[in-house]
Structure 1
Amino acid sequence: MSASILIVEDDDMIREMMDVILTQAGYNVSLAAGGEAALDLLKRSRFKLVLLDVHMPRVSGLDVLKTMQALGRTMPPTVMVTANRNAETVGEAMQLGCVGYVAKPFTPDVLRARVRSALAGPQTPASDKTVYV
């Protein structure tokens, strides 16, 4: 069974492009055009990963993360998608539980690699692995 991914992006073209890339890669994709729709889907469905735009009208990506925390809901691993490389914004997203970000514009290969990495979870560096012989 393929992983279920929620894409939250207010730009129609970017959202559709991400949908095509990830659907062709074999993922089960759901779409939300904004933060309000994302919150509704997150309350009703389970996802393995969320790709969340930072800057959206009315309810931003950061607001989605804050609202889910306030409701006591556990967010799936979340990768922020942003044209904003402001260290403060990225830092705030990480403090709210974000596992990484994809900078716009991005290539299909970058998006697929970031999704694979986020779904794989945190990796232990080779130097931290104990090997018994």
Structure 2
Amino acid sequence: MSKHILIVDDSPSIRQMVEMTLKSASYQVTSANDGQAALELCQRSQYDFVLTDQNMPRMDGLTLIKSLRGMSSYRSTPIIVLTTEASDSMKAQGRAAGATGWMVKPFDPQKLLAVAAKVLS
């Protein structure tokens, strides 16, 4: 059974590019357009990996990560932040919130697939 990945980004074009990249490697993909929608999905379903943007309306990525880490079913789920934010302080906030890792946009599709394979192994 293929791994199920949740993509969270308010940009339709980024969601589409990430989704196409992951589907090309036979992952099952669901997407949400902000952290609030993603949290609602996670309360109903279990995902093997969450890939989230940081800057989004309604709920940002760090708030989403903290919320997910508070749920027993998501305590050890890999969560990677894919964002334009590259500062060390933002990355530190991500680690403190419980992020597994950090990738900066624009992303390299091969690197994204390598990260997905690593965190899902």
Compute the TM-score of the two structures, normalised by the length of structure 1. 0.84
Structure 1 unaligned spans of 5+: 121-133
CA distance in 1, matches of 2:47, 2:71: 17
Could you say what secondary structure the match of 2:90 adopts?
A: helix
Match of 1:21 in 2: 21
Shift of 1:96: 1.8
Shift of 1:56: 0.7
Deviations 1:74-117, CA, capped at 9 Å, x for gaps? 34210000111111111111122211111100121111111111
Structure 2 unaligned spans of 5+: none
Could you say what secondary structure the match of 1:80 adopts?
A: strand
Structure 1 or 2, whichever has the larger Rg, is 1
Match of 1:43 in 2: 43
Q: Count how many residue pairs are aligned between Structure 1 and Structure 2.
A: 120
Alignment of 1:119-130 (within 5 A): 119-120=120-121
Shift of 1:73: 5.4
| 1:60 and 2:60 matched | yes
Alpha carbons 1:53, 1:81 under 8 Å: kept? yes
| 1:12 and 2:4 matched | no
Match of 1:114 in 2: 115
CA distance in 2, matches of 1:104, 1:71: 28
Could you say what secondary structure the match of 1:79 adopts?
A: strand
Identity level (%): 35
CA distance in 1, matches of 2:2, 2:23: 10
Alpha carbons 1:79, 1:118 under 8 Å: kept? no
